[in-house]
Amino acid sequence: MTLSAFFQPNGRRLSSAGIVLLMAPFFMLIAFAFLYPLLSLLSLSVTEPTPGFGNYAKILDNPVYGKVLLRTLWIAVLVSALSLVLAFPVAMAMVSSKGPMALFITACVLLPFWSSVLVRTAAWAVLLQRNGIINSALQFLGITSEPIRLLYTQGAVVVAMTHVLMPFMVLPIYGALRNIPADYGRAASICGAGPFRSFWEVTFPLALPGVLGGVILVFLTALGYFITPALLGSPQEMMIATLISQQLREFLDWPFAAALVGVLTLFVTAITLLFSRVFRFDRMLGGQL
């Protein structure tokens, strides 16, 4: 087979065979590092200790596990909503700024990628502890007379996860806003639209592909998040990733942990397909809705 077989007749674009050849190492890596371990774990959930769906029935029979799933969903929704509210102004500032200010804002957004999630989570633990800077500030301002419980709460988990995951919301929105011509806003102003109406009826609809992309990234990542809930959350309000870790490390119940992984995988897949069905990813990538 000659090299020309991997190019189209014009010689400028790869043929289907060329694309498959270039993508083959990536798909092999995915199959070896992700699909094979996942399928092996899922097979364990239906073969041990006895063949069948007993591990999944255990999840349905105990309402505690259902509450953990619902709590995980609720926290993922809160983190996604809070990230969107905080990320949109930052993305707009990145688009509208120029020179050193644009570099400064971009560096602030990208800086978290240069540090470990564990380090950022530990920093929140220091801030939220009983004698931390937040409690000290509240007492200094007279808002509280004694330290309040901030650490090991659901609020601490939501705030810290939002801080960690917000860059994944900022960057897609920034990419969408950057592709909106500035003439659209000026045209809306000429037609009599105020700043709010111009934003709501022109800017936001055109930025919606980036918004949806960011929401999907943050939401699906939050569903399986482990480090932040494990360090900042309460044992009475654990999320599903923490529950899976508990079953593996403390109870050594691999089949039941595999069943929990199966439920989480099914849940993530269903949500992804739902988003794909409702919002049409192919049209989002094309910049249309």
285: Cβ contacts below 8 Å, ≥ 6 apart: 209
Can you give the residue ranges of every domain in the chain?
55-285
Quick one: CATH architecture of 55-285? Answer: Orthogonal Bundle (1.10)
pLDDT tens per residue across all 289 residues of the chain: 554 554 555 545 666 666 777 778 888 888 888 888 888 888 888 888 788 888 888 888 888 888 998 999 999 999 999 999 999 999 999 988 888 888 888 888 888 778 888 888 888 998 888 888 888 888 888 888 888 888 888 999 999 999 999 999 999 999 999 888 877 777 877 777 777 888 888 888 888 888 988 998 899 899 988 888 988 888 888 898 888 888 888 888 888 889 998 888 888 888 888 877 766 655 444 444 4
Question: Which helix (H) or strand (E) element contains residue 102?
Answer: helix 100-110
> Taken in order 254, 259, 262, 263, is the CA torsion positive or negative?
negative
Q: Is 136 helix (H, G, I), strand (E, B) or coil?
A: helix
Cα dihedral 223/224/230/233 (nearest 10) = 0
